[in-house]
Amino acid sequence: MSKISPFKALRPAAELAARVASKPYDVLNSKEAKSAVENNPYSFLHVTKSEIDLHEDTDVHSVEVYQKAKQNLDALLQRNVLFKESKPCYYIYELVMQGKSQTGIVCLSSVDDYENDIIKKHEYTRPEKELDRITHIGTTGAQTGNVFIAYQNVQAIDILVETWKKDHNPVYHFIADDAVTHTIWIVNSDETVQHITSLFEEEVPYTYIADGHHRAASAAKVRAALGKKATADANGFLTTLFPANQLKIMEYNRMVKDLNGLDNETFLQKLTIQFEVEAVGNNAVAPAGIHHFGMYFNGAWYKLMAKPGTYTHDPIGILDVTILQNNVLDTILGIKDPRTDTRIDFVGGIRGLNELKNRVEINEMAVAFSLYPVSIQQLFDIADSGKVMPPKSTWFEPKLRDGLLTHLIF
């Protein structure tokens, strides 16, 4: 059963919460982060993207960057922008985007559960990305990034969360610059804290990482590296747990820089072997269902429909990302490993279909594909099977903001 625990969050003064809160470190590049913090010394990006406070030529993985993150975090504490909670608490975090709300419990999930596969994974991690997070945590002593975790909903947990929201005032409530509303309540009743802990231990056999595989893996490796020096705080990692019935996965689209030496006509001919191909002109194609794809190519949109035989019915083979990889990206365009091939790029669905068209139009890319999103049940099925999805298969929105709730491990 799932072991979660309350913690003493490092968090901002209420009047500064909206200015401290920042988008996750991995959805902004350095240039975007630098622009986002203009005239805002409180932004948590000074901790998570600290290269913005150094010379623009600084290597983002240099020791100097991680040391600057530590200095900036200490400065926020010294200026009383951030403070540490006086007792271990749970936190309820509600996000509202375009009228749709989802509410999770912010807590520490168990590193032991992660290592023992009580917390299920569906993606491989990349060593260089792990090392970045390991170094960041090891230098700052803080888990600054929240791991997004899903679980099969439990009615008793749903009722408890909604009752607490109704009966208590939030500590934070603001609308961010992307129009997402963020609201957080503190659960500081010892009785309720124990009740939440017991409900997860008794009613939730497994949880599933939705977003944040590198952050989770890095937390486990930091604890291992600390060895006997590890405090009890290093036994948990910062997570927000959401019931599956409130979550929606967005598509994760693909773009390729060239046609692998093919001319336009030959490329289209090869596509027709495994797909029904229909040109539709200027009308952007958002796939209507599984095994349907959109494609922007040579100034026009196309509808693609996978033919029988292009997929299998196992949890991985049925995925549209697998169909595209096996039948187009690999066999036609020569992309054998999408995790490492520099000819491919991935675009989260939140950026819209115009992003695909625009990057082809400016000749940055040769072809772009829009996909139908993976379902949350597919994610669970794959994680339960012990298999992993192709890279960049899921995109979750809205994103949790960094800086509102941070976990210190030393």
Q: Using one digit for the tens of pLDDT, what is the confidence trace for 274-320?
A: 999 999 999 999 999 999 999 999 999 999 999 999 999 899 999 99
Residue 391: the pLDDT is 83
Average pLDDT over residues 125-142: 95
CA-to-CA distance for 233 and 8, rounded, in angstroms?
10
CA-to-CA distance for 20 and 11, rounded, in angstroms?
9
pLDDT band at 392 (very low <50, low <70, confident <90, very high): confident
Mean pLDDT computed over every residue of the chain:
96
Average pLDDT over residues 312-341: 94
Average pLDDT over residues 189-215: 97
Residue 390: the pLDDT is 85
pLDDT band at 340 (very low <50, low <70, confident <90, very high): confident
- Cα–Cα distances in Å, from 148 out to 156, 196, 214, 227? 21, 18, 11, 26
Residue 339: the pLDDT is 84
- Angle, helix 213-226 to helix 127-140, in steps of 10 degrees: 60
Residue 238: the pLDDT is 98
Residue 335: the pLDDT is 97
Q: Report whether pLDDT(126) > 90.
A: no
Nearest to 213 by CA among 94, 14, 344, 383: 383
Nearest to 240 by CA among 403, 28, 91: 91
Average pLDDT over residues 120-141: 94
Counting residues of the chain whose pLDDT is more than 70, the rounded percentage is: 100
pLDDT band at 100 (very low <50, low <70, confident <90, very high): very high
pLDDT band at 210 (very low <50, low <70, confident <90, very high): very high
> Structure pTM?
0.91
pLDDT per residue as tens digits for the range 30-75: 999 999 999 999 999 999 999 999 999 999 999 999 999 999 999 9
CATH assignment of 252-372, among 1.10.287, 3.20.20, 3.40.1130, 3.30.1760: 3.30.1760
Residue 168: the pLDDT is 98
Task: List the domain boundaries for the chain.
Answer: 4-249+397-408, 252-372
Q: Report DSSP letters for 232-251, one per residue.
A: GGGGEEEEEEEEGGG--EEP
| Cis ω before 398 (30° cut-off from 0) | yes
